[in-house]
């Protein structure tokens, strides 16, 4: 009978070779990881600072828009009051035009024409004409020219648009603020990972080194994945 035996290869068990290789190169591994985490931490911190800059810019622009909007509202409201006085004056002159004698009517009409030329915009003139037609058709219900939608839109729509733009900029600033805070938190987590790697570098017990490195990499991976989910901000 021919006897055969299973011979073990000279290469040995791969897992055993890994366990032999790791302790000899643990310092290189730690230094490499320290470099990787340091670069990632610097990137995350830089992105957080850019978001802070974007936030400040959006808030400043939003506040400027709000200030402009308030000024536009005051201007529009002042024009509305002036138009109310103009409308009242026109109503008084129209009474003279309709019921005064020839000289009084002619003088009143001249004043009406002058007011229209100097103080009445095309939109307000159209609103007055529309209100006059409505009042003539239904005398029981008074229609004011200053309730005309086109007239009000001309006065106050620019203010509303500026308010909307201000709100959008402030909301964008809030978003940038939130993303910047997130990146700051991720920077802290990466800094913690760096600290743990530094501790691992000076330890002498291999098992403790591996344990601390593993914890550090879990923290770093978690922070790195969340950082990657935050939109990139360029210097421009």
d(CA 76, CA 144): 18
Domain boundaries, the chain: 26-228
Among all chains, which residue has been given the structure tokens 């200030």?
A: 67
- Would you say the C-alpha torsion 47, 51, 52, 54 has a positive or negative sign? positive
d(CA 157, CA 121): 16
3-class secondary structure per residue, 155-172:
HHHHHHHHHHHHHHHHHH
pLDDT digits (tens, 9 = 90+) for 102-124: 888 889 889 999 999 998 999 99
Residue ranges of the chain with per-residue pLDDT less than 50: 1-11
Which residues contact residue 79 at a Cβ distance below 8 angstroms, ignoring those fewer than 6 apart?
Answer: 155
pTM as predicted: 0.74
pLDDT at residue 17, rounded to an integer? 62
pLDDT at residue 49, rounded to an integer? 94
As to burial, measured by CB atoms within 10 angstroms (0-12 exposed, 13-18 middle, 19+ buried), residue 24 is: exposed
pLDDT at residue 107, rounded to an integer? 92
């Amino acid at each position: 009978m021919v006897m055969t035996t299973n011979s073990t290869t000279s290469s040995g068990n791969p897992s055993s070779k890994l366990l032999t290789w790791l302790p000899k190169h643990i310092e290189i591994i730690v230094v490499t990881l320290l470099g990787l985490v340091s670069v990632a931490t610097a990137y995350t911190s830089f992105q957080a600072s850019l978001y802070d800059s974007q936030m400040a810019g959006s808030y400043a622009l939003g506040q400027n828009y709000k200030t402009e909007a308030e000024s536009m509202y005051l201007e529009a409201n002042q024009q509305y009051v002036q138009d109310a006085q103009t409308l009242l004056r026109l109503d008084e002159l129209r009474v003279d035009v309709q019921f005064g004698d020839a000289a009084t009517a002619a003088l009143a009409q001249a004043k009406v024409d002058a007011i229209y030329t100097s103080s009445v915009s095309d939109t307000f003139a159209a609103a007055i004409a529309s209100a006059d037609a409505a009042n003539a058709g239904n005398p029981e219900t008074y229609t004011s020219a200053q309730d005309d939608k086109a007239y009000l839109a001309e006065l106050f729509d620019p203010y509303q648009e500026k308010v909307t733009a201000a709100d959008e900029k402030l909301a964008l600033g809030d978003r940038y603020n939130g993303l910047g805070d997130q990146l700051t938190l991720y920077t802290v987590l990466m800094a913690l990972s760096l600290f743990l790697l530094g501790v691992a570098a000076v330890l002498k017990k291999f098992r403790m080194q591996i344990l601390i490195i593993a914890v550090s990499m879990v923290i770093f991976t978690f922070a790195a994945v969340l950082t990657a989910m935050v939109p990139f901000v360029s210097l421009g």
